[in-house]
Amino acid sequence: MKIKIFILLISVVLVTSCNKWLDVDLADKVTEEKMFSTPQGYTEALAGVYSAMAASNLYGQSLTMENIDLLAQYYNYDGVSTTYEKLKNYDYEDAGSQSRIAAIWRNMYAAISGANNIIKWAGKTDNVLSSEMKNQVLGEAYALRAYLHFDLIRMFCPDVKNEPKAKGIPYNTVFGVSLPPIYTVEENVQLVVNDLKEAEKYLVNDPINGVAPYTMVDKNSADKYVARMNLYSVKAMLARVSLMRGDKNSAIQYAKEVVESGKFRLLDFASTDKSEKEIDILFSDEHIFSLRNKNLSDYTIYLHYPEITSTSSRSAYLPFVNVSTMYEGNNDDVRYIKWFSVINGNFTKFNVDNKVKFFPKMPMIKLSEMYLILSECYLGKDDVKAQSYINTLRNHRIRNNTNWGYLTMDYITQEAKREFIGEGQLLYMYKRLNMGVPTSSGIVGVVPPSDKIFVFPMPLKEIETGNRN
């Protein structure tokens, strides 16, 4: 298998030239040596990886509101465009599906390559970075490498609890290596943990320690702490990874560290009781890590809105299921009434005219996920605590909420379904729990859990080039 490794400089320029990453501008052309000869060069290189991740071919669209949420069956099974017909049925042998999967593979490893290049140069350059900045750069780069590999594992590997010795993916730790080794799934997951632990060590003095981002009136200023991998996003990732591998005690430990840090807060209803231009529709005070992309509204309009012109019309490519059923018709649920138009039912989560005050961003890790993790991990161990965490979350989502006095895993899953819409997280939960995937079609009903639906095939060209079996 040959993975194309290259520096992201040119592609990053294309992305960031029209979408500045926290006001970082990149030069049109620059050599590696020149780029990494100044602190600004490292800042630009990190910005490049974040921008690549935020693009439509990764987390801006493909791995969130498009392909991954399609596979989680958020969309009307019988109404999905024929463009997505094969993919919605988990036909990964179809040429169109293979093209989508191969693009994901290439783009993820390209972003990993960018992180590896930063690690390489930060490790060999002297007198360029202060010790504080060097720690910050390395911490973010290791964290990004872990984040990207972890999602590749979630897409391309069997569940680690069920098939720990199964063949996994290449874990690329060295820039420029064309044939990184393929590890077992359990080895892959441990490598993610190792990178996150390394990141945690480097980020011990992360600037986020001195602030509480949610208290900042200017949310663009808050983004300087959360629109990047920070110390608490690393801890949140350790909670996410621990839960995936079945280590609930560690998941509780890390999730509680995030919840009790005082850096983030659950939704304040007052932030949504405002005019459209003032509304915090993405609950940014909860963001532990998010990716900025000013074009998110264009992506959601293209996918989820019908198109009507003077000469033609088409239905939405990805129309949603009956969201009233999903949210139990509860007009007190702020997600239901704010993320969907009460007039025409359009998905408005990423399409609100509030860009001046709230830069468009894709949530990658949210405080609400930590509450869901804690609820799941305590379920059956301390049901009172499990209920407390999920009721606290629901009290910040539903006005006049009546607390649940009884809790099952199905309740937690349904809450996650309501919470992560458009964010590409639900499919991984179904996989981790080995749950069938419910559809909106009475014919199909529930798709049984199996590797056939939860595991993408490694792209054929990658296998053939390296003579992998």
CATH of the domain at 189: 1.25.40.390
C-alpha separations of 229 from 19, 46, 148, 284 in Å: 19, 10, 12, 15
How far is C-alpha 101 from the geometric centre of its chain's CA atoms?
Answer: 17
Measured N-to-C along each axis, helices 367-378 and 248-259 cross at an angle, to the nearest 10 degrees, of 140
Domain with 439 in it: 9-463
Determine, yes or no, domain membership for 435: yes
Determine, yes or no, domain membership for 328: yes
Among 373, 397, 398, CA closest to 386? 373
Determine, yes or no, domain membership for 187: yes
Please give the Cα distance from 384 to 114 (Å, whole number): 45
- pLDDT given at position 312: 83
Determine, yes or no, domain membership for 138: yes
Determine, yes or no, domain membership for 231: yes
- pLDDT given at position 10: 37
C-alpha separations of 27 from 11, 259, 295, 403, 467 in Å: 12, 39, 22, 54, 39
Please provide the DSSP assignment of 91-135 as one string: -TTSHHHHHHHHHHHHHHHHHHHHHHHHHHHHHH--SSS-HHHHH
- Cβ atoms 366, 399 nearer than 8 A: no
Q: Are strands 307-308 and 313-314 parallel, antiparallel or unpaired?
A: antiparallel
Two structure tokens written together for 104: 């994901």
Determine, yes or no, domain membership for 4: no
* Per-residue DSSP letter, 62: I
Please give the Cα distance from 245 to 255 (Å, whole number): 15
Residue 313 phi, psi dihedral angles, 5° rounding: -155, 155
- Low-confidence stretches of the chain (pLDDT < 70) are 1-30, 177-178, 442, 462-469
Report the amino acid identity of residue 262: G
Total count of domains within the chain? 1
- pLDDT given at position 31: 80
Neighbours of 464 (CB within 10 A): 11
Determine, yes or no, domain membership for 128: yes
- pLDDT given at position 464: 52
Determine, yes or no, domain membership for 192: yes
Place of tokens 């819409």: 421
